């Protein structure tokens, strides 16, 4: 499945999951709405109807009482109107499942209707005693039964309404729980899908990032965890990465071979030129004028520079190709440092620079390094420090123990290196902007070779600098080194990337 298909599928699933709680909430709201409508259309409407019946019963009772005292036709008509209204509304109660109350109210209303004409005749005929008797024995009891039936209907409605309200409240609460669970479930599943999607994309991206870092560091043999057989964009990228790494490895090999062969082949003609120059300077081919001698000395100096450059190029190419072996042997550390100090004392005095070599009391008495190679490294650092330090400045070399390793610092109070250029100082042929302060120009290979030698010993070489203040190179080496070149850089880079 392609990345685009995974993205579309995951986003569609997340959208569906987010819509699900909304749909459930909508259904819950519709259910609550229907329950509310039912309360409005049945219980509430029935309550209004029962209320109107009770109002009509009150009107009937007042009209009946007025008839007994006033004996007029208006009271009679009011009674008849109230009875008709009660009878009509009693029929409507059956629509609200109040059949018993409706029958009782109709029955009592019928009794009132049957007794009412006799009460009208007695009242309007001036027979007050007979009218009072009919009211007391027949009409008033019937009205009372109507009121009791209305009360029963009201009680029934209250119970039904209470039950419906409780059911609706329970439905609302249940809907809230269902909505919350649905939302939580949707968020949880959406989070899992998002995590899966992020992992499916971020892990290959990190792997490609680390692989490109390894390529930039010169490790063309690194193989990605992403297989080129994958049927997605990452698989195609992995296949392209492998082709790129293979081509770069071949180019790097060709470059190293070319530099090695060229450097090696240059040694012979350069040595021949130096030999003839020395013979000519010794007068083997006759006396030379002062001008001729000066020119020959200049040629000899340039030829020696070419010889050094050729040797450095050969060293760099050997280390890059993995052939720069080292030969560790026991070295008395303090004697080694004293010898270094003696070798550079004259150069420092010529430049007017103070040189001090020190070591801590706990520094190891003996180490196992390649003395010639480490002398080359420290010699390069000391010569650079002296070269870039103005007269009156100071250069120091200090050694101290750190567990099973030795830390050596070369400090100077020279021109310093700009911060943005520090990451490049160990690159081949790179020269910082402080060359104007140097006593002589370099080739830009010394530090690259020094770093290769230190790493071949299983150590590290770092640089800190501040323009106008000075520069510090720090070497950290194990006290005992095996006689082979360990893949320190690649292992450290892989551990750093993995963390």
Residue 100 sits in a domain whose CATH number is 1.20.120
Q: Is residue 20 part of a domain?
A: yes
Residue 494 in this model has a pLDDT that exceeds 50: no
The confidence score (pLDDT) of residue 472 equals 93
**Residue 347 sits in the same domain as residue 270:** no
Whether 90 shows a pLDDT value over 70: the answer reads yes
* pLDDT for position 256: 67
| One domain for residues 40 and 139 | yes
Looking at the fold, whether 339 and 299 belong to one and the same domain comes out as: no
As beta bridge partners, residue 472 has: 411, 464
Interacting residues of 437 by C-beta distance below 8 A, sequence separation 6+ = 388, 390, 414, 415
Per residue in 227-269, pLDDT tens?
888 877 888 888 888 888 888 888 877 776 666 666 666 767 8
Q: Is residue 206 part of a domain?
A: no
Q: What is the pLDDT of residue 491?
A: 35
In a domain, 354, yes or no: yes
What would the mean pLDDT of 204-221 be, rounded to a whole number? 82
Those residues whose C-beta lies under 8 Å from the C-beta of residue 101, and which sit 6 or more positions away, are 90, 93, 149, 150, 152, 153, 156
Inside any domain, residue 222:
no
Say yes or no to pLDDT of 279 above 60.
yes
Do 494 and 435 belong to one domain? yes
Q: Does one domain contain both 339 and 313?
A: no
Residues 315 and 363 in one domain: no
Higher pLDDT, 309 or 63: 63
Q: Which phi and psi (to 5°) does residue 407 adopt?
A: -105, 125
Q: Are residues 52 and 164 in the same domain?
A: yes
Query: Residue 110's closest CA among 90, 131, 137, 134?
Result: 90
Q: CA-CA distance, 436 to 415, in Å (whole number)? A: 9
Task: Please indicate, yes or no, whether residues 384 and 336 belong to a single structural domain of this protein.
Answer: yes
Residue 400: pLDDT over 90:
yes
Work out the pLDDT band at 59, boundaries 50, 70, 90: confident
296, 345: one domain: no
The larger pLDDT score, comparing residue 337 to residue 90, is at 337
Are both 43 and 87 inside the same structural domain? yes
Domain, as residue range, for 239? 233-320
What's the burial of 399, exposed, middle or buried (CB within 10 Å: 0-12/13-18/19+)? buried
Burial per residue of 187-196, b for 16 or more beta-carbon CB atoms within 10 angstroms, e otherwise: eeebeebeee
**Structure tokens belonging to residue 76:** 């009679």
pLDDT confidence tier of residue 77, bands split at 50, 70 and 90: confident
pLDDT reported for residue 73: 78
Q: Is the pLDDT score of 355 beyond 80? A: yes
Give the model's pLDDT for residue 190: 82
CA atoms within 13 A on the CB side of 379: 14
Q: Do residues 231 and 1 touch, judged by C-beta distance below 8 A?
A: yes
pLDDT in tens, 136-182: 888 888 888 888 888 888 888 888 888 888 888 887 788 778 878 88
Q: What percent of the chain has pLDDT over 90?
A: 12
Average pLDDT over residues 32-38: 79
Among 356-370, 387-401, 472-486, the least confident range: 472-486
What is the domain count for the chain? 3
Note the pLDDT of residue 476: 93
pLDDT digits (tens, 9 = 90+) for 227-238: 888 877 888 888
- Give 460's pLDDT tier (boundaries 50, 70, 90): very high
Q: Does pLDDT of 474 surpass 90? A: yes
Q: Is residue 302 part of a domain?
A: yes
pLDDT of 189 strictly over 60: yes
CATH number at residue 483: 3.30.565.10
Mean pLDDT of the chain: 80
Name which of 148, 68, 160, 155 is nearest 109 in CA terms.
Answer: 148
Structure tokens at 161: 């309404």
- 356 part of a folded domain: yes
- Within a domain: residue 177? yes
State the sign of the Cα–Cα–Cα–Cα dihedral 151, 33, 20, 180.
negative
Residue 411 has pLDDT above 90, yes or no: yes
Residue of 445, 111, 479 lying closest to 306 (CA atoms): 445
> H or E element: which one contains 187?
helix 140-216
Q: Domain check: are 167 and 91 in the same one?
A: yes
- End residue of a domain, out of 136, 162, 193: 193
Q: Which of 292, 320, 348 is the last residue of a domain?
A: 320
* 261 lies in the same domain as 395: no
Point out the domain boundary residue: 169, 193, 217: 193
Q: Is residue 220 part of a domain?
A: no
Q: Average pLDDT, stretch 394-418?
A: 91
Q: How confident is the model at residue 354 (pLDDT cuts 50, 70, 90)?
A: very high
């Amino acid at each position: 499945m392609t990345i685009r298909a995974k993205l579309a599928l995951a986003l569609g699933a997340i959208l569906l999951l987010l819509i699900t709680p909304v749909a459930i909430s909508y259904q819950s709201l519709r259910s609550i709405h229907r329950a509310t409508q039912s309360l409005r259309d049945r219980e509430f409407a029935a309550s209004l109807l029962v209320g109107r019946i009770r109002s009509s019963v009150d009107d009937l009772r007042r009209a009946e009482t007025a008839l007994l005292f006033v004996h007029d036709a208006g009271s009679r008509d009011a009674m008849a109107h109230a009875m008709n209204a009660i009878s009509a509304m009693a029929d409507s109660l059956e629509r609200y499942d109040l059949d018993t109350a409706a029958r009782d109210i109709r029955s009592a209303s019928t009794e009132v209707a049957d007794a009412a004409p006799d009460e009208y005749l007695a009242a309007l005929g001036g027979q007050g005693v007979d009218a009072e008797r009919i009211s007391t024995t027949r009409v008033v009891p019937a009205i009372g039964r109507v009121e009791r039936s209305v009360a029963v209907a009201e009680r029934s409605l209250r119970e039904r309404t209470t039950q419906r309200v409780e059911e609706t409240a329970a439905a609302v609460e249940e809907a809230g729980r269902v909505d919350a669970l649905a939302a939580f479930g949707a968020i949880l599943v959406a989070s899992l899908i998002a995590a899966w999607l992020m992992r499916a994309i971020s892990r290959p991206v990190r792997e490609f990032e680390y692989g490109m870092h390894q390529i930039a560091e010169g490790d063309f043999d690194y193989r990605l965890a992403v297989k080129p057989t994958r049927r997605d964009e990452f698989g195609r990228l992995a296949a392209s990465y492998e082709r790129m790494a293979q081509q770069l490895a071949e180019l790097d090999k060709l470059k190293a071979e070319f530099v090695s062969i060229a450097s090696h082949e240059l040694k012979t003609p350069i040595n021949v030129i130096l030999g003839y120059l020395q013979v000519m300077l010794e007068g083997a081919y006759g006396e030379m004028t002062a001008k001729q001698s000066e020119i020959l000395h200049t040629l000899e100096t340039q030829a020696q520079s070419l010889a050094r450059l050729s040797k450095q190029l050969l060293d760099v190419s050997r280390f890059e190709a993995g052939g720069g072996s080292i030969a560790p042997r026991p070295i008395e550390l303090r004697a080694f440092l004293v010898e270094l100090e003696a070798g550079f004392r004259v150069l420092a005095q010529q430049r007017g620079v103070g040189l001090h070599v020190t070591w801590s009391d706990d520094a190891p008495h003996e180490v196992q390094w390649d003395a010639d190679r480490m002398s080359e490294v420290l010699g390069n650092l000391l010569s650079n420090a002296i070269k870039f330090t103005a007269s009156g400045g100071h250069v120091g070399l200090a050694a101290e123990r750190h567990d099973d390793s030795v830390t050596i610092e070369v400090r100077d109070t020279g021109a310093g290196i700009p911060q943005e250029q520090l990451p490049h100082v160990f690159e081949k042929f790179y020269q910082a902007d402080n060359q104007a302060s140097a006593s002589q120009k370099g080739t830009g290979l010394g530090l690259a070779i020094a770093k290769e030698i230190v790493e071949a010993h299983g150590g590290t070489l770092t640089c800190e600098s501040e323009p106008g203040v000075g520069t510090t190179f720090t070497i950290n080496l194990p006290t005992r080194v095996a006689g082979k070149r360990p893949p320190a850089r690649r292992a450290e880079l892989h551990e750093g990337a993995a963390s």
